[in-house]
Amino acid sequence: MDNYNVQRDEADGPQNWLPVSITEPLEDGQATEVMIKERVIAVFRHEGRLFAMDGMCAHQGGPVAEGHVEHGCVTCPWHGWQYELKTGIQTINRQPLQETFQIREHDGVIEVLI
């Protein structure tokens, strides 16, 4: 997992905390899709915690934010690949196929480290 993140940093340059632009509060159990740095990012609030991951499924680009979320995992609506929200690990082959991002909230503003 650590090596995966190092490779991502080198490829994308320095990271910054950038705000998630959403018009309505993200309630628990909800997800949304946003564009940050020209990337589609899926943002989830699940069981009181925020998560952010690549919004395009590693399989064939499906809309991960539209997937079913349960027990800390999201299931892509297109073909059912499932990823851990926290790590992006695909639950069948246990590989970190879906990139995840640190996420935080302060005074109602959600920010992603990207």
Tell me how far apart the alpha carbons of residues 29 and 47 are, in angstroms, rounded to a whole number: 7
Q: Candidates 36, 53, 57, 89: give the one binding ligand FES (CB under 6 A).
A: 57
- Using CB under 6 A as the binding rule, whether residue 76 contacts ligand FES is answered as yes
- Using CB under 6 A as the binding rule, whether residue 79 contacts ligand FES is answered as yes
Q: Pattern of binders to ligand FES over 14-53, x per CB under 6 A?
A: ----------------------------------------
- Using CB under 6 A as the binding rule, whether residue 60 contacts ligand FES is answered as yes
Please name which of 103, 98, 77 lies closest in space to residue 87, comparing C-alpha atoms. 98
Query: Which residues are CB-contacts of 15 (< 8 A; sequence separation ≥ 6)?
Result: 9, 113, 114
Please name which of 54, 85, 56 lies closest in space to residue 68, comparing C-alpha atoms. 85
- Count of residues binding ligand FES (CB under 6 A)? 10
